[in-house]
Amino acid sequence: MRLVDTHTHIYGPEFDEDRDATFARAREAGVESFVFPAIDHESYEAQFALTRSRHDCYSLIGLHPTSVNDNPHWREHLATVERLLRNCNGGESDLAIGSPERPVERFWGVGEVGLDLYWSRDFEAEQRECFVRQVELSLEYDLPLVVHTRAAWEPMLEILEGFGGKARGVLHAFGESREVWERIAQLGGFAVGIGGVSTYKKSPLLESIPHIPLTHIVLETDSPYLSPVPFRGKRNEPKNLVYICEQIARLQGCSPEEVAEQTSRNAYKIFGIDR
């Protein structure tokens, strides 16, 4: 099987002691590509350095919604996202790859961005403003979005619907009902990222996954978070993508090989990666 982890934070400090071994375990399990969502300026350096060091890693750029909360400088940080996108994806540039102004050759998407009202609703207006601007950037640079949504599906879908079907990408960490999926399907341009939650006994995904076309699913771990059964409660890592793949196959009544092949094709198409 060939697998693509479309959402992993393997560049984070949780992997500092065994990152090379983590990659080796993932490759042995069949994971051939790794997509890195961005969080904010505090993690950019590690993310970009790891991207430059490997041929199988692909960086996104964005400002996470919780990095907006209680942050008086969030607009400055959003301006950094805009500048980096311009320097890396804005056409010919004489800036050296690896420089602070052009840290990678290019970005493959805008993410992880979105709305997260789980911890507090006090910053909903700021999160909305930040998210809308990043959707606009994705359209300006013709890049997919990777959208984080927590306790905010209604306002999230309203914003995306307001772009009239122009926005596209992945709705990350999808764990919702069939009814939510059917509304997402009406957007036209989005796949859902399925991860470890699909293996949990009380997950709504047990009912919704059989109704989601395989052509609209990509696989993700969100490692080090959301480990699948039988590793729930432990650090997640990309090799565990196999368990997610097998669970989707069970729920869809097909083979893991079919799930792996189709979801990998989906991932490469969405992000424009030629593999």
Cβ density class 210-236: b for 16+ within 10 Å, e for less: eebebebbbbbbbbbbbbbeeeeeeeb
Q: N- to C-terminal Cα distance for the chain?
A: 15
CA distance 232 to 181: 25
Please report the pLDDT score of residue 1 as a whole number: 87
The per-residue pLDDT for 275 is 79
Query: Which pair of tokens denotes residue 211?
Result: 């109704």
Q: What angle do CA 268, 271, 274 make, to 5 degrees?
A: 50
CA distance 59 to 46: 11
Residue 20 burial by Cβ neighbours in a 10 Å radius (0-12, 13-18, 19+): exposed
| Total structural domains within the chain | 1
Residue reference for tokens 């102004």 = 101
76 SS3 class: helix
226: its two tokens: 């959301």
Strand duo 57-59 + 31-36: pairing: parallel
Residue 111, C-beta contacts closer than 8 angstroms, at least 6 positions apart: 37, 38, 60, 61, 62, 144, 145, 146, 147, 148, 169, 170, 172
> Is 21:15 a contact under the CB 8 Å cutoff?
no
Residues with Cβ within 8 Å of 203's Cβ and at least 6 positions away in sequence, in order, are 175, 197
pTM (two decimals) = 0.97
| Identity at 253, one-letter amino acid code | G
What pLDDT shows up at residue 222?
98
Run means of pLDDT, 10 residues per run, the chain, 275 residues: 97 98 98 98 97 98 97 97 96 85 96 96 97 98 98 97 97 97 96 98 97 98 98 97 98 98 98 93
Give me the residue label for tokens 């601007």.
133
**CATH number of the domain where residue 240 is located:** 3.20.20.140
Q: Domain of residue 108: give its range.
A: 3-271
Q: Tokens in use for 232?
A: 């729930």
Residue 14 tokens, joined:
């949780």
